[in-house]
Structures are given as C-alpha cells and as structure tokens.
Amino acid sequence: MDALIFHNDRILPLPEVHLSPGQMGLLMGWGVFTTLRIYNGRPFAFGRHWTRMSHDAERLGMNLCHEQEAVRRAVARLAEANDRLEGMARVSFVKNAGGLWAQAGNRPETDLLIFTRELVQWPAIHRLKLQPHAVYSATRLAGVKMLSWAQNAALLEQAHTEGFDDVLLLNERGHIAECTSANVFLVRGGQVLTPPLSAGCLPGVTRDVLHEVVPQAGFELREENLTQEDLSSAAEVFISSTTREVAAVGSVGSQWLYHAPGKTTVTIEQSFKDYVRSHLKSC
C-alpha cells in the first residue's frame, strides 16, 4: 500500500497510525469495507459503495460515525497526497466497542481507515477453480462485505498455488454464487445471465453498474439461479469487480473451456469503459 493513510480525521504516515489490540473489529472481524477504483484522482461510483457499506453496517449493528461526503473527500485527499491518480482505495470501518474482550478505551465507536495503492495486475483471461459448498446463502449475513474475509482469502490463496486466478463458489444448494471477490456472468443465446442476490453473492458495485450497461449494449440481462449444467451451455463467461472491471473467463476447472474473450464480453467491457468515461466527465 502507499506510504500515507487516512485514519479517522487526518492523513498520517503508516507507522504513526495506532490501533488498539482490544478493538472488536480486529479481534472478531467486526466491520465493513469496500474497494474503490481511482480514476484521475477521483473515486468512482462512491455513492453506490457508500449505500452498500451503510446497508451492511446496519445489518452488523454498526454506526459508521462519518458522513458520506466527508469520506468521499477523504479518499480524494489521500489519493492526491500519495500521488495516486490511477489506482485503488480501500475504505474500512472497524468497530471498537462490544464483546467480552473489547478494550477500546476512549476510542471512537468506529475507526475509519483508508488506504490507497497501485492496481492489482489481473490476467487478461481468467482461469477459475470450482468450489462446492463455499457460500451459505440462508445466513442472515449472506452478501455482507465485512472484515471477516478469511475464508475467501484462504480459498484464493490456495487457488493461486494450484495455478488458478480465482474461485467460482457454489452455495449449499449447488447454485453458482460468485467468485472470492467478483461477480460472475454467463452468456447464452444472446442473453447475459447472473446469479440473484438470494444465491448468497455480494451485491457488487460493478455488477450494479452492469445492470445499466448491459441493456444499453444491446443485450438482455437476467438474474436466475445457475448450476454447473449452465456452465456447459454457456458460450462465454466473464466476471466483474471494481479492480477488474469486466474480465473474460477462459476456463472453469478442466471441464469447461471457453473462447475468450468472446464478442459479447468484449462489447460489454468496452461499454463499461465508456460508462466510466462518461461518468467522470459529468462529475
């Protein structure tokens, strides 16, 4: 990450930021976060990210303790201070009080941490590993983007050691949910299909934007429960995330192989880039 970070109300060098070992967010993963793209020094789609974080914080019983516009300005200020005109930012809210082991002292109810860094260099064509029983869609916190991210991080690390780029997660009913940090889309018969939120997937911000972009690009976008059989009938597969935007998938395991990038994926990828440029011009 970059040398300067934002902590609560100021920009500081990373070594000067101190967190309490008794913070609930650190001990229990009690908190929310989001990853933003920075284009030309500005955070993209910040309002969408804030809406999701606020909703997730409410489900976790947290108070963000900061105003949306103040946090947006803080991201932009930090990007400028780190000379990070193009890159990514991580915004985290860490819960301090609560639980048997909490010892937050006189700290605020919630700590705000913002980091910036260069973009992750993802491959042009992704290779996915299939992982059954990786998402439990019936839990009350399904789809919440919280600090407790160990399972996804461990699955991704293991996939990398096996030569894959990400993991395609199935829920307890055998339905496709998402990747460890991306939403998934299948192209079949001129339609673009993606799992519904009820499958347990994260309501990704790029996924949300694509609900606007895909129809504008001339394709029907439908949410429906998808299984391994749908991988066999799909002509193309792509994934979406803040850092990857729209990325083609060339294979899922050794069983499903796709010509990538396919024509539909390329069209949607370009349409998304056009959307970003248009958005930045209007800001």
pLDDT of residue 98: 73
Query: Cβ neighbours of residue 26 under 8 Å, at least 6 residues apart?
Result: 19, 20, 94
Find out whether 131 and 228 touch, Cβ atoms under 8 Å: no
The predicted pLDDT at position 188 comes to 96
> Please, what are the domains in the chain?
4-117 (3.30.470.10), 125-282 (3.20.10.10)
Distance of alpha carbon 273 from its chain centroid, rounded?
18
Q: Given this model, what pLDDT does residue 26 score?
A: 84
Count, residues in the chain: 283
- Are 5 and 36 in contact by the 8 Å Cβ rule? The answer is no
C-alpha distances in Å from residue 259, one per residue of 11, 113, 125? 46, 41, 10
Please give the pLDDT value at position 156: 97
pLDDT for 22 equals: 77
Report the C-alpha gap between 27 and 50 in whole angstroms: 24
Q: What is the pLDDT of residue 105?
A: 65
Contacts of residue 100, Cβ cutoff 8 Å, sequence gap at least 6: none
pLDDT in tens, the chain (283 residues): 999 999 999 999 999 998 877 788 888 899 999 999 999 999 999 999 999 999 999 999 999 999 999 999 999 999 999 999 999 999 999 998 776 766 666 778 899 999 999 998 999 999 999 999 999 999 999 999 999 999 999 999 999 999 999 999 999 999 999 999 999 999 999 899 999 999 999 999 999 999 999 999 999 999 999 999 999 999 999 999 999 999 999 999 999 999 999 999 999 999 999 999 998 877 6
CA atoms within 13 A on the CB side of 28: 15
Answer left, alpha or beta for residue 145, where phi above 0 means left and psi between -120 and 50 means alpha.
Answer: beta
Query: What's the pLDDT at 103?
Result: 67
pLDDT at 18: 85
Q: Which pLDDT does position 283 carry in this prediction?
A: 65
pLDDT at position 176, please?
98
Nearest to 208 by CA among 221, 219, 217: 221
Centroid of chain to Cα 117: 15
Q: H or E stretch including 264?
A: helix 263-282
Q: Which residues of 197-229 are buried (b: 16+ CB within 10 A; e: fewer)?
A: eebbbbbbbbbbbbeebbeebebebeeebbebe
pLDDT of residue 282: 74
Q: What is the pLDDT of residue 281?
A: 79
Residue 60 is classified by DSSP as T
Distances (CA, A) of 273 to 79, 216, 244: 21, 13, 11
- The pLDDT, as a whole number, for residue 108 is 84
